[in-house]
Structure 1
Amino acid sequence: MRKYLMILMAITAISFPSWSRDEKLNVKVLYTGTISPPEAETIKGGSWFKKFSMVHPAFFIQHPKGTFLFDTGLGHSIKTQVKDMVWWARSATKFIQKESAADQLKALGLKADRIILSHAHFDHSSGLIDFPSVPVEVLQEELDFLKTKNASPAIFPSLFNEQIVWQTYTLENKSYEGYAKSRDIFGDGSLILVGMPGHSPGSVGLFINLASGKRAFLVGDTVWNSDGITKGLPKFWISSKFADNKPDEVMTRILELQALQKKYPDLLIVPSHDAKAVGAFEEMMNRN
């Protein structure tokens, strides 16, 4: 009997992971800057008299199999980098810079094994040069885009240097929550990347699935304002002209998010710059 019990225990140990996602999967929000433009700049039909609170976060993700940054936010050299921005956009980009993600991680004694970009715009990639030896993962479409001259007013040469270690990856032809292609980062269903082209050719979103049943979806800059999902509205037309590579595709992504939210009312959809949504995500992870 004892022999069979020992065999059963061995099989159990092999069959099930020895860690709990709720205990081991952790996400820390690193705020690298803030900005408070009129709401009208963030969504079609918004108020010019109401301020909208925006943030520039990096997300530090800890998993039993590794750590990574999802975006870097604003880096050490952001004030120099934005000098490459077209004047009309620079005049409207009066953000308040905070500590860089690199400095915050150093102070916490934490280290990222790699960086995965939601997309390559300056407010998501400015800090790359602060991590010269850390591999940076992007889709090939995004790498081609950022290397194209005048690809976007939000991408400029000073963001990148020869020390950045680029690594491309591909999304598998496995549908996930309505998205045709996906990538299970650690193979356990906790962190799933999906393709969200439109804002840029290689934009991706990140599903975060906790064992507790709580779920979040980091959607980059498909919208800046969560009301864009609720109301099915794009950015203000000038903002879209500056930021969105293909506005029609962005609108398709917004309608997909609307349908997803209707299907899963408890799913927390997090636009990267919506301070309220990012704060709700931070609170969710802190409770977890």
Structure 2
Amino acid sequence: MKRVFFSLLFLLLTGAVALAWTFSPALLDPAPLQAMELPRATPPAGMSLSALPTGSMKSRAALAYRGGRFSDEREFAMTAILVRHPRGDLLFDTGFGRRLEQHLAMQPALMRATATFSKGTPAAEQLAAHGFDPARLAGVVITHAHWDHVSGLDSLPGVPVWVTAAESDFIAGGGDMTSVARSLDRLELKPYRFADRPYLGFTQSLDIWGDGSIVLVPAAGHTPGSVIAFITLPSGARYALLGDLVWQAEGIDLPAERPWLARTLVDVDAQAVRANIAHVAAIHRRFPQIRMLPAHDARAMAALPVFPAAAQ
């Protein structure tokens, strides 16, 4: 019995040490970009970008990136981004919706146990309160279909939801990860395709309005159809909406991936995520003027003007 006891104790201790190691610092090594210039863009007058905060979540830096501390409590933003353009206004992600409690109850118990959530005003209600009819949106472009990026679609019935074909398939068969998307009434998916046109080292891209002001690139890994949106405003200001490629800015600045536990829970292809993090980190080093916006970094989102204010 003693031998069995000590064997089990050894296995438990070994497992605990191994798990603790997965939270330790481990930096990725991005390869330098080949010589390139910033892609040309001619954003039209009147184009602008605004943030619509819809709530937040509190968790620990250690759960967001390798090397983060458990003692470092972080606010994780739940923010929609409105990009107004003369050819059509687009909302990027939605944050929390009216039925947050219902949507949250559909999520894994471990996720609910490791975070606390604060509900704000849904993006659609913020728009309507300032005279912007949400029905006039050309679409909602989701960076991916996880619940906290689509919850607000419950307030946007009938607005087209722009998704890649891979993400549309993921919604249909993604199990618990896409249960909220499947539960939404009148969800009008609008799949789109990328062209074989390189953009900042990505082999494919979609220039939505043909002027270089809003360009999507595929960044599969977190989900099969995750995307990054590059936005260029008339002032010359440039942004990259990273979705959940990383959860906090350190993911790109260091760069570092999520710890093993988080990767296992939320990423469908951790190796693809790792490669995309390294590539975006290389873009960040080559072009620091592009403001990197991880969807859940409250510090980055707080620097944006809140609707109806706008950056132009």
TM-score grouping bracket, smaller chain normalisation: 0.7 to 0.9
Q: Which amino acid aligns with 2:231?
A: I
Alignment match, 1:147: 172
Could you tell me how far apart the structure 2 residues matched to 1:91 and 1:158 are? 22
Deviation of 1:282 after TM superposition, in Å, equals 3.6
What are the within-5 Å matches in structure 2 for residues 15-164 of structure 1? Answer: 21=43, 23-110=45-132, 111=134, 112-150=137-175, 153-157=176-180, 160-164=183-187
User: Among residues 219, 223, 234, which one is paired with 1:196 in the alignment?
Assistant: 219
Question: Using the alignment, how far apart are the partners of 1:147 and 1:159 within structure 2?
Answer: 7
Matched-pair contact (CA < 8 Å) for 1:141–1:202? yes
Supply the distance in 2 between the matched residues of 1:195 and 1:113 (Cα, whole angstroms).
21
Kindly state the Cα deviation for residue 243 of structure 1 after the two structures are TM-superposed: 1.6
Q: 1:107 to 1:36 in 2, by over 3 A?
A: same
For residue 189 of structure 2, what is the aligned residue in structure 1?
Answer: 166
CA distance in 1 between partners of 2:252 and 2:72 (Å): 19
> How much has 1:57 moved relative to structure 2?
0.5
Q: Structure 2: which amino acid aligns with 1:121?
A: H
Report whether the alignment pairs 1:253 with 2:276. yes
- Residue matched to 1:16: none
1:62-82 CA distances to partner (integer Å, 9 max, x unpaired)?
101111111111111121112
Paired with 2:46 and 2:262, the residues of 1 have a C-alpha distance of 39
**1:122-172 deviation line (CA, Å, top 9, x unaligned):** 01001112211111110010010111152xx53225653351111111011
1:270/1:281 contact within 8 Å kept = no
* Distance in 2 of aligned mates of 1:187 and 1:35: 36
- Paired residues of 1:40 and 1:46 also in contact (CA < 8 A): yes
Tell me the secondary structure at the aligned position of residue 253 of structure 1. Answer: helix
Residue 273 of structure 1 corresponds to which residue in structure 2?
Answer: 296
SS state at 2:73 partner? coil
How far apart, in 2, do the equivalents of 1:122 and 1:247 lie? 19
Indicate which of 204, 211, 217 corresponds to 1:181.
204
One-letter amino acid of the structure 2 residue matched with residue 83 of structure 1? A
Distance 1:186 1:137 in 2: 14
Q: What SS does the aligned partner of 1:256 have?
A: helix
Q: CA deviation at 1:209?
A: 1.1
Which of 263, 267, 273 in structure 2 is aligned with 1:240? 263
Shift of 1:99: 0.3
1:163 to 1:227, Cα distance in 2 relative to 1, 3 A: same
Correspondence 1:210-229 to 2 at 5 A = 210-229=233-252
- Structure 1 distance, partners of 2:68, 2:297, is 14
Q: Percent identity over the alignment?
A: 31
SS for the counterpart of 1:37 is strand
The number of residues matched between the two structures is: 266
Distance 2:74 2:183 in 1: 30
Unmatched tracts of structure 2, length 5 or more: 1-41
83-92 or 98-107, which deviates more:
83-92
Give the letter aligned to residue 184 of structure 2.
N
Seen in structure 2, the aligned counterparts of structure 1 residues 287 and 142 have a Cα distance that, compared at 3 Å, is closer
CA contact 2:217–2:229 (8 Å) conserved in 1: yes
SS at match of 2:271: helix
Answer whether contact 1:22 1:212 (CA < 8 A) is retained.
no
Instruction: State the SS of the aligned residue for 2:59.
Output: coil
Cα 1:159–1:30 shift into 2, 3 Å: farther
Tell whether the 8 Å contact from 1:81 to 1:159 is kept in structure 2 after alignment. Answer: no
Deviation at 1:95, TM superposition (A): 1.1
Distance 1:157 1:214 in 2: 34
* Contact 2:171/2:182 (<8 A) preserved: no
> What's the TM-score, normalizing by structure 2?
0.81
Shift of 1:21: 3.9
Q: Which has the higher contact order (CA 8 A, sep 6+)?
A: 2
For 2:142, the aligned partner's letter is: L
Amino acid at match of 1:135: P
